[in-house]
Amino acid sequence: MTMLSPVGSGFDLSSVDPSSTPGFSGGKKQGKKAFDKGGAELADLQERLFADSRAGGTRRVLLLLQAMDTAGKGGIVRHVVGAVDPQGVSLHAFKAPTDEEKAHDFLWRVRAHLPAPGSIGVFDRSHYEDVLIARVRQLVPPATIEERYGQIVDFEREVVAGGTALVKVMLHISPDEQKARLAERLDRPDKNWKYNPGDVDERALWPQYMEAYQVALTRTSTDSAPWHVVPADKKWYARWAVQQLLLAALRDIDPQWPAATYDVAAEKARLAAT
């Protein structure tokens, strides 16, 4: 069984099968069961991480999600991140930049939303839009795109050095699966609001997007901030896989309950006297 490996040298996005389930040998039923078990551990580890931050710890986690439309970013947030105490999560969805954001360098708005110590931050899209749609739609000159890869690597090195475990995930679906998911949004009245005619326009640029992803993934996957491409045609698998990546990051931090900073016996006596 293939494991889900980080993007390394020689990586070829076109060789990743979006319907595969690397690292998991069972089917949907076993996948959901494993997922439910992982949620409890994730919630526990996040609470420990939060407690650690109260005692001065600086560690935190940032899950960065990139994907083609309908790949399931929203489902990851709802199901994977939803298992964690809302007080321990800071979520930001990056849209097309505002005028104010455009007046700054492309990393400015990203810095403003980095998670605080003790929390799990989630970026629904990110600074990678500035080398993905910006490249495909030629929003800036090619030389600017070229510069950005290096700026991103430097920026992420700084973020990681500051105590953040950076989990970068591309949810990878096939064009056929996207077609089926868009069709469902058109078929179901309760899903119509999720459909945008622009989705079909972007879909027409699939090969260009895959090329932009291939370049971005290989230019910005580093030892300290690696990319993972998660096959996402099977929703249950993608959710389990992203949960595993978060669990691995948190287990690596291994946050511990902080020791009391006061005299426990003395406080017990004070409380008893009330």
- Shortest separation between residue 87's beta carbon and a copy of itself, angstroms: 5
Binding positions for a copy of itself, 197-216, rule CB under 8 A: 197, 200, 203-204
Does residue 56 belong to the site contacting a copy of itself (CB under 8 A)?
no
- Name 8's Cβ contacts closer than 8 Å, sequence gap at least 6: 221, 226
Torsion, Cα of 74, 76, 81, 83 (10° steps): 110
Binding positions for a copy of itself, 170-189, rule CB under 8 A: 179, 182-183, 186, 189
User: What are the phi and psi torsion angles at 151 (to 5°)?
Assistant: -65, -40
Q: State the Cα angle at 242 between 247 and 58, rounded to 5°.
A: 45
Confirm if 58 and 162 have CB atoms less than 8 A apart. Answer: yes
Does residue 124 belong to the site contacting a copy of itself (CB under 8 A)?
yes
Does residue 139 belong to the site contacting a copy of itself (CB under 8 A)?
no
Cβ closer to a copy of itself: 21 or 46?
Answer: 46
Interface with a copy of itself (CB under 8 A), residue from 39, 97, 226, 258? 258
Interface with a copy of itself (CB under 8 A), residue from 3, 103, 161, 259? 259
- Shortest separation between residue 112's beta carbon and a copy of itself, angstroms: 15
Does residue 112 belong to the site contacting a copy of itself (CB under 8 A)?
no
Confirm if 106 and 211 have CB atoms less than 8 A apart. Answer: no
Q: Which of these segments, 2-10, 85-93, 230-238, 247-255, binds a copy of itself (CB under 8 A)? A: 85-93
Confirm if 68 and 272 have CB atoms less than 8 A apart. Answer: no
Q: Residue 206, SS3?
A: helix
With helix as H, strand as E and coil as C, how does 256-268 read? CCCCCCCCHHHHH
Go through the chain and tell me how many residues it has. Answer: 274
- Shortest separation between residue 265's beta carbon and a copy of itself, angstroms: 9
Does residue 68 belong to the site contacting a copy of itself (CB under 8 A)?
no
Does residue 32 belong to the site contacting a copy of itself (CB under 8 A)?
no
- Shortest separation between residue 54's beta carbon and a copy of itself, angstroms: 6
